[in-house]
Each structure stands twice: as structure tokens, then as C-alpha cells.
Amino acid sequence: MVGTIIRKEISANLLSYKFFIVILLTTLLLATSFFVLYKDFKGRQADYELVRPKPGEAIAVLAPNPLSIFAKGLDEAMTRSFEVSPIGLQVRAGQKSGNAVFAFFPAPDFVYIVKVVLSLVALLFGFDQISRERETGVLRLMLSNSVSRAKVLAGKWLGNYLSLAVPFLLVALIGFLLMTLDPQVRFGAAGTGCFLLLLADALLYIALFLSLGILVSALTRRAAASLVVLLLVWAVAVFVLPNLGTLVARQLVDVPSVKALSEKRQQTWTREILLAIVEGRAQGRQAGDVNRKTHLEAINTEFDKLEHDYRLKFDRLVRLSKTINRLSPAASFVYAATELAGTGIGEESRLKDEIIRYKNAVFQEFDQGRKDHAAFAYRYRSAGQVLAQGGMFDLGWLAAFTVVLFGLGFAAFARYDVR
């Protein structure tokens, strides 16, 4: 029975204008997004070849992450160049800081398309499942046959989910496979695994919005009302909550601004350099050859302290904003997807820890008078580690959301007056 309903839903969808235009839109968007971000990745890869450190240089630069084609996240921040010299760490940013228009709009990557467009599309598949069929009278006919409401709902859900998920999966997988043809884009086994998990994350997210659509459809008498409610809920969940959440978290945790921090660093420098010179003069040396060592050490200790202090506060901000933002499934989806791709906030702060460790190691080599430095090596977390460190929570959260929404939808449908 369920099979028949699924078939009916799919064939009804295939013939509809909605299906046609919506699938056209998503296919077009996904294809454009893959193309544009693939080109962007290639460009950054070419840049990386220009700036990659020569053997012996104490420079930490990561090659751009191929999964950033799908989830750009913080890859731009992670592929900056961090150069260690006796006077500390020098940071140089990549392309994005040159063109300010990038700063206005988020990157149109796969994660963005799923977060914004696919969720809307899932709602469009779900919004009229119950209320429209009541309006047209189909629901009455269906239920007058001896079929349980549970089966009808399950059939509807699966039928619509399949007609949405299958084309989506096809496009995503074809895009991925085409990219693996390029020998310079190496995903590797781990990368492929992460991509598949990312797809699973996306499928879960779509399921959530489809269930939400069906729930609201079962709560309203008219499809038009159902759509209005859904569009507003969608706008709040996808745009308002996560973007406001971070701002609210900022009011609760005091984190110094980046500018304040950089000013503090400059001040420390200035003070120590002057102290070094004044001390040197007292010992009768020329300004050029004063003993800077103790002062450079003082600068470094102070910088490390500033950095450590900032990290602590910033991590607290990140944790709090994550907690608040997870109210919105869109945020949960983005967190899981970017961490799986290795471009999330967790990965970025892990990279920074590694860079600090590398800097300290190079400083020891400076002390020993070594000119050749070990190269910086960084290993992204494996999918297992990501899942263990919060990824599983986000996925579970999305799944729980979906189950609850579907359950509520079933409860609402069970009591639905089909007349």
C-alpha cells in the first residue's frame, strides 16, 4: 500500500510545474556553485604554488582544502601564510581581503545552496501535502479506501522525499565525480568519506524541512496559509536566528576586538624596543647592536599571554554562540558540514594551536642557532574525530528534530478533518 502511495506521489510530482521549475533551479544552482567554487579553488591552488615555503623556511601555509569547494567555511582564513621570524609571527592574508565585495555576501558554496535553497525547496514539496489534497478532495477519496493514515503519511513523506533527494543526490555526485577527474584536486579516501557524510548531513537537513512542511500542512486548512507560515518560519530559522545568535552571544561574553588586540601588540613592541635601546645606551652601545634578546623574549611572552587570553575568551564565545545558534537547524547543519569538510571553526582553532606550537619549536631552533627549520605539517581531523567532537551531536540533533517534527505531523494528521 505504502508503495502505491509513494508511486502516486512521485508520478504526481514528476508531472507538476513545481517539480520542473524547482529541480531546474537547484540543478542550475548546484552546477554553477560547483563550477565557480572549483575555479576559485584552482586559483587559490595556483597562488599556493607561488607562495609555498621552500625547504628550511619557517613558514606555515596550508594548501587550499579541496573540500572547500563544497564548504568554503573558513578555508580562506586557514590558508593564510604564517611566517615565523625572531620577531614573532607575521600573518599575510589571501585574495579575499582585496575585493571587499566578498565581505558583503556569503560564499555560494554547496553548503550555502543546501542551507538556503534546498531547505526552501523541501518546504515547497511539503507545504501542500495535506491541505491541498483536502481542498481538491483527493484526501477524502484516499481515506475512504481502507488505508491507515499512518500509511498515507509515510507514503507521502517517502514519495516526496525521494522525488527531491534523488535528483539532488545525482547532481551532487556527478559534480563530485567530475571534480575527481582533475588530478590536481585530490580528495583521497578520507576526503571522499567526509564528502559522503556531508551529503548525509544535507539529506538529513532536507528531511527536516520536508517534515516541517508536512507538519504545518497538517495544521492548516488551506495551502496558502500553510505556505505563508512556512516561509516566515523558514526565514527566521535560516536567516534571523543564526545571525542574531552570534550577536547575542557577543553581548554575554566579553571578547576584546581584533583591533584592540593588534593595538596592544604594537604597544608592547614599542615599549620593549625602546627599553632595549635605553638599556643599551646605558651600557654605552650603539642603537644598532643592543642586546634585544631578553626584550624579544618579553615581547613573545606577552604576545603569547594576549593570544592565550583571547583564545580562552573567543572559545567561550564560540561555544555559547554554537549553543544559541543550534536553536536553528540551519546552524546545526552548517556546523556539521564545515567541520566535516575541515573548514569549520573547530578545525581553524585547532590549526591555530598547531601554529603556536610550531612557532615555539622554531623559536627553540633560533636559540640553537639553526637556520634550517622543520617544515610545518598539519593533519586534518578524520571524519571519526570530527563526529566525536561535536559532529555527531549536530547530526543527532538534526535527526531528533526531524523525528519530532514528523511525529507531530503524524499526530496532527491523525486528528485532521478531511472534509
Partner 1 sequence: MVGALIKKEIQANVLSFRFVAVAALLLIVVPVTVLVLSTDAAKRVDEFSSRRSEIETYLKSYAHFNRLQNVVKPAQPPLASYALVRGISSDVNFEEFDDDPLPVMFPLLDLTFVVAILLSLAALIFSYDAVCGEKEDGTLKLMLANGLPRAKIILAKIIGGTVTLIVPFLLSLVLGLIVILLNPRITWKGADWTSLAFLLIGAGLYVLFFQVLGVFISVRHHSSSASIMTSLCVWVLFVLVVPNLSPYFAALVSPSPSRIKVSREMNRLTDVERDDLGRRLADEKMRELTRTYPALAENLSQAEAKVRAEKDPAYKIALQARVREVGAAWDEANRIQIAKANALQDNLERQEEAQTKLSGTLSMVSPLADFTYLSSDLTSTGLMNERHFKRLSDIWGRSYGDYRQAKIVSLQKKDPAVDWWNTPVDVSDMSRFVYKEEDLAARLKGTLPAFAVLAGLALAAFWAAYFSFRGYDAR
Residues 25-64 that bind partner 1 (CB under 8 A): 25, 29, 32, 36-37, 39-40, 43, 47, 50-51, 61
CA pair distance 342, 348, nearest whole angstrom: 8
Q: For residue 75, what are the CA distances in angstroms to 94, 182, 189, 267, 323?
A: 10, 20, 20, 30, 23
Contacts of 85 (CB under 8 A, 6+ apart): 58
Binding mask 195-224 for partner 1 (x = CB under 8 A): ----------------------------xx
Footprint of partner 1 on 143-162 (CB under 8 A)? none
Tell me, by CB under 8 A, how many residues bind partner 1.
111
CA pair distance 295, 58, nearest whole angstrom: 21
Footprint of partner 1 on 250-309 (CB under 8 A)? 250-251, 255-264, 266-267, 269-271, 273-275, 277-278, 284-287, 306-307
Q: Which three cell numbers stand for residue 153?
A: 503519511
Q: Which of 108, 167, 193, 390: binder of partner 1 (CB under 8 A)?
A: 108
Between 15 and 150, CB nearer to partner 1:
15
117 touches partner 1 by CB under 8 A? yes
Q: For residue 303, what are the CA distances in angstroms to 266, 267, 275, 278, 361?
A: 10, 11, 17, 22, 16
CB of 150 to partner 1, least distance (A): 27
* 56: alpha, beta or left? (left if phi > 0; alpha if psi -120 to 50): left
352 touches partner 1 by CB under 8 A? yes
Query: In this structure, are residues 6 and 158 in contact, taking their beta carbons and an 8 Å threshold?
Result: yes
Q: For residue 375, what are the CA distances in angstroms to 84, 149, 351?
A: 11, 64, 15
Between 269 and 378, CB nearer to partner 1:
269
Q: Which residue is associated with the grid cell 582564513?
A: 77
Q: Which three cell numbers stand for residue 242?
A: 543564526
Footprint of partner 1 on 78-107 (CB under 8 A)? 80-83, 89, 91-107
CB of 125 to partner 1, least distance (A): 11
Footprint of partner 1 on 312-331 (CB under 8 A)? 314, 317-318, 321, 325, 331
